[in-house]
Structure 1
């Protein structure tokens, strides 16, 4: 077993480097004066995010030419694995299956076939000594055991299973901290300690060589050039076993010199890194060669599209001493974005994402690559992680789409996104998932930013030249037209990024390019909510406009509310509502959304009526006696009215003598009044805009017993607590009568009911009104059986006459109620 700290192989010289003493000033070929600092193995790292150390343990697979295996065995702790072999130019023609043992439960997983390792550096990086080929990695989670079987006609030499312990730590919090980055500085500029505005600072115009992978720096001045092949390297012994925890932290230290410092750009993260970041202070280094890239890559042009928030290398815990020191190779610009998937399974939590990124970093280094291959990685929660070192905004040449790495960039979706059945995978048996909306949005944001700097439309195409002689299906040096947002499969013989993610690329293009789609007003709210009136809205003079877009709001730079075509409110792109002031009357309201590219979309107009007029009561409230059970605490009454509003009523309510919710269309309300007490019946009407109006009426209900009535015929007094005042009068004599004389605007006759009760005729002011039958299946006392009302109070008579119904002639009366 071989253990490598950080998964790193020994750094190799790729370009001419300068060996200088501390405090030496290098005058670059561009005229930029850059302070250099040589550090010893006792150099200390600057304060910053904690480096998380990783390790890779490699176990040999043994067996015949067509079958290699590793028997089930216990191992050191690991979380990710891959199988690798000696020659990166050889593809494994066979099947590699693995199973792992959970360190938490001791349970062995099912057998899992690994997919092909499709992401590759271009030949200049791939063909270096010591670079290995490999399968796609598998995120196994906390594990301490492994078993491997490889079958094929002819298997590559040097097969090993590589187990990665990513360590613990790292952050998922985006932190575009540019403290370690420095903008290129023209030698004629006046240095400043103030942050440099990225839109006003310009770099010297440079034209990178046609093959950046083969370019070498050409600094001028007193420095002495040393050929790259003579550059000293620290090659550890092949059998050396290094504890990952012994590597010194590699946070960059600030360069010190009497020369003017380069200006920091905290407002423009990801531009050309400083020398101290490119050449970190590492305990294992006896001396540090420091050179700027030559020719100096041009600073990315100003763009309207902002950089999305991302987790920096420092934040996810990258050990900068593990990668090749110095600057990476740069292209001219990013003309195309290739979308990948890591094919590492989807059974991870987003809290695992920094560990997954570190594991991929360690595996790529273990396979002899200069650095992590991808330029960016995105997890299923939409968190973006910075990939290969070199400045996130710079056209860093990655190791992701073999033959087309120059002038492109690679975004890796963490997970497996083949068909749900795994149907489009040629080797892996990992079940794919549907990419989350958060992931698709994050990929779109990166594409919008990077292509925006190049002036390339994400829905357009770009021409890329094949840089490899052995890429299946492509011809060396031939130019190919690619979609500006392509899948890995468009530039290499692979099924990456899986059918499900590949099917989302049109969405990515649309999101990244703009203009905003699906812009529409969803409501116009009053303080109590949205109120529709027909096809429009009714509000007061203050309202809140709400809207939605199908384009994610993180891809919008802003939004405006237009009233009658004039912008009256502007908000950030992630905001989906805004308060507005309206004058009384009818208006049109629209929302104009602005994409990060500057393209706009204006929604369809909705009609909004700002209503400042209160409702009215065309019919004032009146109160009259009603039917029902009567007692001294509650005499049944009915309140009648009619409320109206030009734009409609939202609600009505009774406010006294007790609060009661009514409907917007209510015109009557049944309640009770306390006997012999003036009662106020209050109402409130609220219109659609929230304007209110009130109205009320007052009435006094009085109970008048039969003792005050003029009687004819035979009547019998009955006593019971069930009767009003404790007694009532009964008669079974035909034509027996009681007559009350009263003054009021409403009257009710009160009686008892039973199955043997008879009927009476009712006369008012000498005129027969009706016949009331008191028969009831159940016995009921104090029942207001009949009422009559007038528009005003006046003196009236009410007379009841016993009908003498056959078999049940008796009636029992409990008096009358009079309302004034």
Structure 2
């Protein structure tokens, strides 16, 4: 067994006025004010209250009635024999400090893990309940199993306050230091604070004369204790001394701190979270083999409702519970992580040394323990917490050449059983993942189903390569299909599911050569390319050195501008004519040697057309010279411009040369307010103009007739003006030439039987 705690400075004080004979257990040191989370350093003093549970006559249930208490934030239920377990359920509920609000019943994990050889008590995992001043407990052994002896409730106030700088802590009293005469030294193998007398006012099942709600702690030779009488050979604790806050004795040989293949994450040391080193003055122990073979992941099986600012207090509460309530030499875990990803130094001895913790019974001698604050039975751990676990695991395993994604062969320090029913004998060789859950080596739910299901992700993050690496986009000037085009530079964007702190760097490769290197936090990079076609990929390098690449992107760099193989031109079109809106069509054709992206009309209005479009319908104001400007863009961003100017001109019917009989009609619906109409066969109107496009505007109705059209003396068509709806200023016929020239247009009335009338509203041509 390990050395008894003869040199603790403790005092047992009966808390007067509290029912249930609550005992106040004051830790050594001076109470100070402030908060270690604020950045100061030094001890924060914790306090504890204990109260015996009342056990039923048949020994299968126990309780502690609802009662007032001193302030506390963490609790657990403990019992006399360190190796005993509670087979039933242990439930508590608490009252929020300063209120009358009681929580719902919280079930405690019934086993603290039996992690410390020579522990003085067994107990549940401690549960963080937040600032509280009232409590109630019930324990149900399901009517078939007797509960362990010495059941009691332990309440821990982790303290708060300004912490002061610490001198290097000693692990035992100096030779000239005199113990506090007011403190009675406990006998070896006994709890330094005796179990209180039974609570005669507790509600619950009646207590028979034969029940033993409180019994003295068994001595090391007590046959009722199932704790092993000798420590596990594979987990013997070397008599050495090392701590980040202590100076080892010159005669002590401290194991080396080998360099790691992975960087160390930031770690909040014991002084920073306010560890009171005086309550655990013993020297640290180191792994007998001097190397870490595996990492065991835990949860603390307590509430997830703590705030990130409360993280140091939660750690202090666990520390006090492990040391003062269970009788361990120090905090059991090597490292603790809160839900915000802050990493805390656990057991002393040096974070970079192979310190032996008390977290994985039977396998402490070859492992490091990391515990995440909270319960993760059904709630997933945060990404920040998982990231920190992966970083610590990679760092510690990297010191000893262990692949976080591989397996480790561990030697069982004692016989055991896993949560899944696998059993083994002492000395057995077990092959376990290098990062595994507590349940793999002990019959416990720890680290909870939700967290256990995430361990594969933690291993992948810790060992690499980078997972989920995806090329999101390549931003140049444009993309056609799977090819990106640019004049010279591109921005490549990517994403990955492996957290950035575990990524050493990203490299942008162009045609297999590194064109840019970024930090692991980056999600994009730029590169300048020469003219031609290139293959672009992103390579992610994990902190382990393992690399992975994205799919390949094709990028074409080119500087040749597109061309207008058909220059922009205008043509009149059919439709309703207004002096402010003469219907016309703009035509063009643009091409590019690589990939045409679009053509934009920039004047007299703004429009954008796709690469295959070669015409668009518009209107223009009559008697006004209007420039039409186009700009062609290729996918690389190269451009070309072209334009054309046109002036639509309206020729009234009065300007035509007449033959036959025509009469004038007046209406605001006509161009200029007037029009000519004729029902006489062969009556004609002739216009002469210089232009490249022409349109004849007419009025139409159900009784309208037909007309022959002659161009430059030749008949080109006969048009029918009949319409089921009345129309005015309707450009019913158009003709366009390649160039501007002088032309004549003549219309001749056909004299259609029953509807001979032709009403003309003028001629429009394009200058």
Pairwise TM-score range, normalised by the shorter structure: 0.7 to 0.9
Summarize the Cα distance change of 1:90–1:698 in structure 2 as closer, same or farther, 3 Å threshold: same
> What is the distance in 1 between the residues matched to 2:588 and 2:79?
91
Distance in 2, Cα, partners of 1:806 & 1:234: 137
Distance 1:44 1:751, change over 3 A: closer
Q: 1:491 aligns with which of 430, 435, 441?
A: 441
Q: Aligned equivalents of 2:582 and 2:509: distance in 1?
A: 56
How many residue pairs get aligned? The number is 675
| Equivalent in the alignment of 1:21 | none
1:168-183 aligned at under 5 Å gives the runs none
- Select which of 396, 399, 403 maps to 1:453: 399
Change (3 A) 1:116 1:674: same
Match of 1:85 among 79, 93, 108: 79
The CA distance in 2 between the partners of 1:700 and 1:416, in whole Å, is 80
Give, in angstroms, the shift of residue 60 of structure 1. Answer: 3.0
Counterpart of 1:94 in structure 2 is 88
How big is each residue's C-alpha offset from its partner over 1:482-535, in whole Å with a ceiling of 9 and x where there is no partner? 332121122222232233322332332232222334545333211x5xx44444
Instruction: Tell me, in whole angstroms, the C-alpha distance in 1 between the residues paired with 2:680 and 2:46.
Output: 110
Distance 1:102 1:405, change over 3 A: same
Q: Which residue of 509, 513, 517 maps to 2:463?
A: 513
Offset at 1:622?
1.2
1:591-639 per-position Cα deviation (integer Å, ceiling 9, x unaligned): 2222111222344433221122111222221111233333333322211
Contact 1:11 1:233 in 2 (8 A): no
> TM-score scaled to structure 2, two decimals?
0.78
- Residue 302 (structure 1) aligned with residue 302 (structure 2): no
Q: Structure 2 unaligned segments of length 5 or more: list them.
A: 9-28, 185-192, 197-240
Which of 369, 385, 388 does residue 347 from structure 2 map onto? 388
Encode CA deviations 1:636-657: one digit per residue, 9 max, x unaligned: 2211111112221223211111
* SS, match of residue 668 in structure 2: coil
Distance 1:817 1:87, change over 3 A: same
* 2:148 pairs with 1:149: no
1:189-268 alignment runs, 5 A limit: 232=179, 238=193
Q: CA deviation at 1:764?
A: 2.1
Q: What SS is found at the alignment partner of 1:509?
A: helix
The 5 Å alignment of 1:366-515 reads 366-367=324-325, 368-418=327-377, 432-468=378-414, 473-515=423-465
In 2, the alpha carbon distance for the partners of 1:43 and 1:498 equals: 37
Compared CA separation, residues 781 and 413, structure 1 to 2 (3 A): farther
Distance in 2 of aligned mates of 1:670 and 1:563: 45
* TM-score normalised by the chain length of structure 1: 0.74
Matches within 5 A, 1:616-655: 616-655=563-602
Cα RMSD over matched residues? 3.8
| Maintained 8 Å contact 2:116/2:328 | no
Aligned twin of 1:324: 280
- Check conservation: 1:338, 1:409, Cα contact below 8 A: yes
Q: Distance in 2 between matches of 1:73 and 1:704?
A: 106
Q: Does 1:61 align with 2:53?
A: yes
SS in 1 for 2:641: strand
> 145, 148, 152: which is aligned to 1:160?
152
Q: 1:70 aligns with which of 64, 72, 96?
A: 64
Match of 2:515 among 565, 568, 573: 568
CA distance in structure 1 between the partners assigned to 2:497 and 2:155 by the alignment: 43
Distance 1:465 1:296 in 2: 25
Kindly indicate whether the alpha-carbon contact (under 8 Å) linking 1:181 and 1:272 is maintained by their aligned counterparts in 2.
no
Cross-structure match for 1:723? 670
Give the Å deviation of 1:789.
0.9
2:461 aligns to what SS in structure 1? helix
Structure 1 residue 469: deviation in Å? 7.1
1:659 aligns with 2:609: no
Measure, in 1, the Cα distance between the counterparts of 2:99 and 2:702: 80
SS at match of 1:707: helix
User: Counterpart of 2:220?
Assistant: none
Higher relative CO (CA 8 A, sep ≥ 6), structure 1 or 2? 1
Partner of 1:359: 317
Q: Kindly tell me: are residues 672 and 59 of structure 1, through their superposed partners in 2, closer, same or farther at Cα, counting changes over 3 Å?
A: farther
2 CA distance for matches of 1:388 and 1:330? 11
- 1:790 CA displacement: 0.7
In structure 1, distance between residues paired with 2:632 and 2:562: 7
Is the CA contact 1:760–1:801 (under 8 Å) kept in the aligned structure 2? yes
* Structure 2 residue 286 is the aligned partner of structure 1 residue 339: no
- Conserved? CA contact 1:519–1:593, under 8 Å: yes
Distance 1:170 1:689 in 2: 62
2:260–2:396 Cα contact (<8 Å) kept: no
Is this contact kept in 2: 1:556–1:595, CA < 8 A?
yes
Residues in 2 aligned to 1:170 and 1:729: alpha-carbon distance in whole angstroms? 103
Deviations 1:270-306 (A, max 9, x none): x9655xx33xxxxxxxxxxx75385342342223311
1:111 aligns with 2:118: no
Distance of aligned partners of 1:477 and 1:637 in 2 relative to their CA distance in 1, 3 Å threshold: same
Query: Higher Cα Rg: structure 1 or 2?
Result: 2
Whether the 8 Å contact between 1:123 and 1:468 is mirrored in structure 2 is: no
Name the CA distance, whole Å, in 2 between partners of 1:643 and 1:115. Answer: 75
For 1:801 and 1:770, the matched residues in 2 are separated by: 11
Kept after mapping to 1: 8 A contact 2:574/2:734: yes
Question: 1:749 aligned to 670, 687, 696, which one?
Answer: 696
8 A Cα contact 1:122 1:404, kept in partner: no
Alignment check: 8 A CA contact 1:305 1:452 kept: yes
1 CA distance for matches of 2:541 and 2:308?
31
**Take 1:555 and 1:600, find their aligned partners in 2: how far apart are those partners?**
12
Determine if contact 1:293/1:327 at 8 Å carries over to the other structure: no
Contact 1:71 1:147 in 2 (8 A): yes
In the alignment, the residues of structure 2 paired with residue 779 and residue 169 of structure 1 have an alpha-carbon distance, to the nearest angstrom, of: 93
